[in-house]
Amino acid sequence: MYEVGPRDGLQNEAETLSVDVKVAFIDQLTESGLPAIEVGSFVSPRSIPQLADTEEVFRRIRRASGVRYPALVPNLKGLERALEVGVLEIAVFTAASETFNRHNINAGVDESIERFRPVVARAREAGIRVRGYVSTAFGCPYEGAVSPEAVREVVHKLLDLPVDEISLGDTIGVATPAAVYDVVETLYESGVTRGVIALHFHDTRGTALANVYAGMECGIATFDASAGGLGGCPYAPGAAGNLATEDLIYLLEGLGIETGVRLDKLVEASRSLSQAIGHRPPGRYLAAVWEGRGDLPAGT
């Protein structure tokens, strides 16, 4: 499990939360036993004002040993900022479609790969692990359908940089299990090994858990999710929340897969956060647990 709540979740909230709230949220996520927690982004504060204080958040969170705390980095400036606060893992991010990428990071796909080249080189020199996100891997808000071949092309460009892991993003939540088989099989046929692939589903159309199951059938073992199911990209019209971490854990535990994550602690983290943001996150497990308790702000 790769938790993206503090980054993907909070980047899409209307309000910018205080550093105190973010730190408390991340510390609670750590206590729940999650193995990897994406803390924030070192991007332009004009693009994502909600995460402009990521340095301060990094300085103040309690980093537990054995837990990974990555952050998004779009360019060398972002890497400098990350290095300054002792970040040990970064994620660069591009897309399988040109138009989304231009809206999101003001670069075409090939241009973004060139921008990442010195970032990855410097990161690797510093012993930093690098994840590469491929957004719009299952569909683009501007261009519509995206072919598995387009995904394959950008995945290989990222692997050649090289990055250690690829997360395939269903940015606007249009994937279905058939599309997951299609994209993943296309990657396997081109020589990509299962161990480098992670899947990142948004749950806009309710298919995220089914897509995870399809991914597991393909042998994939890393899944991104967001506490409470918050999330979305401000540059992807129509994007809704991520797959909720609670829902993912409930599924995995039900399948007999031990996660090491305490669901009750995770629920506490999401509940505290919901009070700070003033609305109820969309996760289904949370709704089931909380229904009738009356201690939550009304649903959105």
Our finding on whether 74 is near ligand HMG (CB under 6 A) is yes
**Residue number, 8 or 89, with CB nearest to Mg ion:** 8
- The SS3 of residue 285 is helix
Using CB under 5 A, pick the residue from 1, 5, 8, 53 that binds Mg ion: 8
Strand (E) positions, 128-285? 129-135, 165-170, 197-201, 222-225
Residue 233 falls in the annotated catalytic set: yes
Our finding on whether 93 is near ligand HMG (CB under 6 A) is yes
Using CB under 6 A, pick the residue from 28, 30, 32, 41 that binds ligand HMG: 41
Using CB under 6 A, pick the residue from 16, 44, 176, 275 that binds ligand HMG: 44
Using CB under 6 A, pick the residue from 101, 171, 226, 259 that binds ligand HMG: 171
> Do the beta carbons of residue 247 and residue 266 sit within 8 Å?
no
> Do the beta carbons of residue 95 and residue 168 sit within 8 Å?
no
Question: Quick one: tokens of 113?
Answer: 């790969």
CA distance 199 to 141: 19
Which of ligand HMG, Mg ion, none has residue 48 at its interface (CB below 5 to 8 Å by kind)? Answer: ligand HMG
Strand order in the sheet with 129-135: 2-3, 222-225, 197-201, 165-170, 129-135, 89-95, 71-72, 40-41
> Binders of ligand HMG among 279-298, rule CB under 6 A?
none
Our finding on whether 3 is near Mg ion (CB under 5 A) is no
Nearest CA to 52 among 62, 60, 44? 44
Q: Which stretch binds ligand HMG (CB under 6 A): 40-48, 117-125, 144-152, 265-273?
A: 40-48
Gyration radius of the chain over CA positions: 18
Which of Mg ion, ligand HMG, none has residue 11 at its interface (CB below 5 to 8 Å by kind)? Answer: ligand HMG
CA distance 31 to 153: 39
User: Of residues 51, 155, 233, 277, which has the active-site annotation?
Assistant: 233
Residues that bind ligand HMG (CB under 6 A): 8, 11, 41-45, 47-48, 72, 74-75, 77-78, 81, 93, 104-106, 133, 135, 169, 171, 200, 202, 233, 235
Residues that bind Mg ion (CB under 5 A): 8
